Amino acid sequence: MSDWVNLVQGTAVGHQVAMGLALLSAILHAIFGALQKGSHDPWLTRGAIDIFYGLIALPFVLFVVPWPEPHMWLIFAGAFIIHTIYKIVLAMCYSRGAFTVVYPVVRGTGPLVTVFGAYLIFGERFTGGQWFGVLVLLSGIYGLAVYNLRYLTEGRNTLKPALALAVLTGLIVAIYTTYDAYGIRASTDPFTFLAWFFMFDGLSFMPLIAAVRYRRMANPPALGPLLVRGLIGGILAYFSFGGIILATRLAGVGEVAVLRETSTVFAALIGWVILKEPVGPRRFTLMSLIALGAVIVQMGA
């Protein structure tokens, strides 16, 4: 499988596979985000998710993938730090704002910064049509933020800090997207990077934070359902996060990052249908602009 990935990297076939992975990742990431937010403590859910995908990665690290090259250890350390910061800030964000409020801003802020990062680090350039798509995407993001600031009544007292944290989280998303793309391209075997990344990222601080938080709760949730959510989320993470990281090896980082943000539409549907959060036609239209911008970027390539 690794040989095939290396063979199609940078080809038309690789580009098509990357776009498919990015779209699949968009759908799964919306589900993943709703699972972490849900009606439960996002710190506990994230800790359960991490411990499961870390344990799932362990046998692959020990018995399946080749050992990392010496230069990869420093790259793994950087990824560990960036993703730990991301998960802490994201949990703070979800603790303060509704899923349909913060998720589009988180997922929409990242691509713009990622596009610039891809230009500076990988030499990728966008056409005029693609930049128009980015502008459409941004109009949806910040139009949604302005709408929420003016009209949303639920959770009003924490809305501004939630949106500020959402923008900060989006910037960190851009950093880890670009950094992970650099990391997987620096590894001879892409699945070595993925396996070790998930092991380090999973068996980190979040399960410890979740365990401490769980023990300090006056009325902690039942452990069984929490672990089930963790297992489901851990499996989703492999196809969502793993899929997008692999896609950045096969095609342009900027294009992949933008296409993934079609997840905002799926997030709107999940928030409305499953989490019972009000969406309304205007908010859904603004969310759709984000997805439309991503489509224009692909058409302008």
Per-residue pLDDT reduced to its tens digit, 106-117: 877 777 778 777
pLDDT confidence of residue 220: 87
How far CA 2 is from CA of 5, 177, 179, 220, in Å, comes to: 5, 21, 20, 44
CA–CA distance, 297 with 301 (Å, rounded to integer): 6
Crossing angle between the packed helical segments 99-122 and 263-273, to the nearest 10 degrees: 170
Q: Which two tokens stand for residue 133?
A: 């798509």
CA–CA distance, 42 with 95 (Å, rounded to integer): 7
Per-residue pLDDT reduced to its tens digit, 177-229: 889 999 999 999 999 999 999 999 998 888 998 899 999 998 888 889 889 98
Q: Report, as an integer, the average pLDDT of 6-10.
A: 80
Residue with the two structure tokens 């006056």: 218
